[in-house]
Amino acid sequence: MTDPNAIARRAVVTAITSGKGGVGKTFVSANLAASLAAAGERVLVLDADLGLANLDVVLNLAPRVTLHDVIAGRAALGDALVDAPGGFTVLPAGSGLVEYSRLTADVRDRLRQVVDELRPRYDRVLLDTGAGISDVVLYTVSLADEVLVVATPEPTSLTDAYATIKVLATTQGRHHVRLVVNQATGAGDGRRVCAQLQRVVARYVDPAVGHAVHIELVGEVPDDASVREAVLRRELLVEVFPGCAAAQALAAAAARMRA
């Protein structure tokens, strides 16, 4: 018999993406997941960076079964779910898989099925996507209820973040995008970056799509030596250095996501 509570439950699916690599997207995804789990949510992070996955490396996991095996029909979804440090669950993906560099109809259908199967099991599913605006990334983001863009104050990151928001607004009709500014070097960097992106979007994107696109700042994570130490140790920042400024900022961002 189907559990009626399982039918009622439906996870919020959040795509965490970025316009360029190297901005700390996977680091942010993992630590947000731990912060959300600490607040009582049942959280799963799906490594949706198909072909260049590294969530398992960040979390010091050694999965025997991955999303690749599930999509290929070699394993059941439940066999690929791994308990991660921080009290959340991970669905790891394979790395170096050339076949995922282009989105086939089969991969598209199977990925949607996987997300649909996960929704009743969790309160929140985080899709840690690849960087950029490839077909694979955009399709993965299309499966999410909401989008969180990770950017840094560096000019090329801002340019690529704008390009990502523009494409999401024009191709997916997104009205609302959340933003985390990572590696902030000064107080107020997050607000400044968000305001800058909002001005450019209002000037060039809103008229093109015919509606306003709102960018919501949910976090400003300062540049912090503890981040580098946690990454080198392959541990969660919010667990090993919970009192540092970056960990506190990530916990605050998770609280805003839940609000």
Report pLDDT digits (tens) over 219-253. 999 999 999 999 999 999 999 999 999 999 999 99
The stretches of the chain forming alpha helices (DSSP H) are 4-8, 25-38, 55-58, 67-71, 77-80, 105-118, 135-142, 155-172, 189-200, 206-209, 225-233, 237-240, 245-258
pLDDT at 81: 97
Task: Report CA torsion sign: 62, 67, 70, 71.
Answer: negative
The pLDDT confidence band at residue 9, using thresholds 50, 70 and 90, is low
Average pLDDT over residues 200-228: 97
- pLDDT for the residue 106: 86
DSSP state of 95: B
| Res. 182: pLDDT tops 90 | yes
Q: Is 50 helix (H, G, I), strand (E, B) or coil?
A: coil
Which pLDDT value is given to residue 113? 95
Residues 77-129: pLDDT tens digits? 999 999 999 999 999 987 655 555 567 888 889 999 999 999 999 999 999 99
pLDDT at position 84 is: 96
CB-CB contact of 25 with 150 (8 Å): yes
Here the tokens at position 38 are 């600490």
Matching residue, tokens 């992106």:
197
Q: What pLDDT score does 71 carry? A: 87
Taking alpha carbons only, the member of 58, 26, 33 closest to residue 254 is 33
pLDDT at 145 over 90: yes
* pLDDT at res. 254: 98
From its phi and psi, is residue 258 left (phi > 0), alpha (psi between -120 and 50) or beta? alpha
Predicted local confidence at residue 225, as pLDDT: 96
- On whether the CB atoms of residues 153 and 184 are closer than 8 A, the answer is yes
The mean per-residue pLDDT over the stretch 183-196 comes to 95
Range of weakest confidence among 2-16, 28-42, 123-137 = 2-16
Sorted by where each starts, the structural domains of the chain and their CATH numbers stand as: 10-258 (3.40.50.300)
